[in-house]
Structure 1
């Protein structure tokens, strides 16, 4: 029951923010320009800050919708975490602000995003009470070893 309530609540900020970035990239483009230039050099992608802002917005909106509806919530949360880090670092550089009011506002937004990052990280590892892949792999290996020992013991008994 908690997951059914918490996931949409966590996702809401990503869906609304993503749609806003997609529809109105505005001031985000100026903030993103230095980052997208470096990213374009490294990744060999086009240096188009507006496209990157819109793409990030689309990723957040889509991933947020997936999380809210419970469709592949671990993958959606991982994608949200991956998109939130550059968004936060690029958009809320409180350490570069000279004006105290602006610095405080960006610091609050930075800390809010840090809290959201913690939330989506928890959601990314939440298996909803079901065993995760690592546990399943370990359990399968343990079962295989157990079965091998049993087969070996049965073979010895059959020979004697």
Structure 2
């Protein structure tokens, strides 16, 4: 039962990133406009690259293959994103400030979770079966 919960937890954690990464790629024009508004250099390229990082990071964690690399990819996306895309301290409007603050701390919390996954895996923790093993060879 613990094994199943671990796999389900990994998949649930990863779905946010896979979905967001797909949006970065398939809705690039809208995402690029927002990145340009936030003054991100080479916005179109950055949106595509981060989309790939999110999809790969999420898939690696969900599937249990290269999950440590997946966790690093997600943390490498989330930490700068918190500061570059959600600088709540620059907002004067109370609602905008609150929304950016929520997004900022959400990104930090998810980066922390990704770093925990990385540290546990690099420390030799058992991350459970891969999805393929669980589905086809369990």
Q: TM-score, normalised by structure 1?
A: 0.67
Q: Which residue of structure 1 lines up, in the alignment, with residue 94 of structure 2?
A: 100
Q: Paired residue for 2:18?
A: 15
Distance change (3 Å), C-alpha of 1:126 and 1:31 = farther
- Aligned pairs (5 A) from 1:53-132: 53-127=47-121, 130=124
Larger radius of gyration: 1
Tell me the number of residue pairs that the alignment of Structure 1 and Structure 2 aligns. 120
- Runs of at least 4 residues off by over 2 Å: 127-132
Q: In structure 2, the residue corresponding to 1:98 is in which secondary structure? A: coil
Unaligned runs of 5+ in 1: 37-47, 133-160
Which of 40, 43, 47 aligns to 1:49? It is 43
Q: Which runs of 5+ in 2 are unaligned?
A: 127-138
Q: Note if contact 1:7-1:67 (Cα within 8 Å) is conserved in structure 2.
A: yes
Is the CA contact (8 Å cut-off) linking 2:82 and 2:105 kept in structure 1?
no
RMSD: 2.2
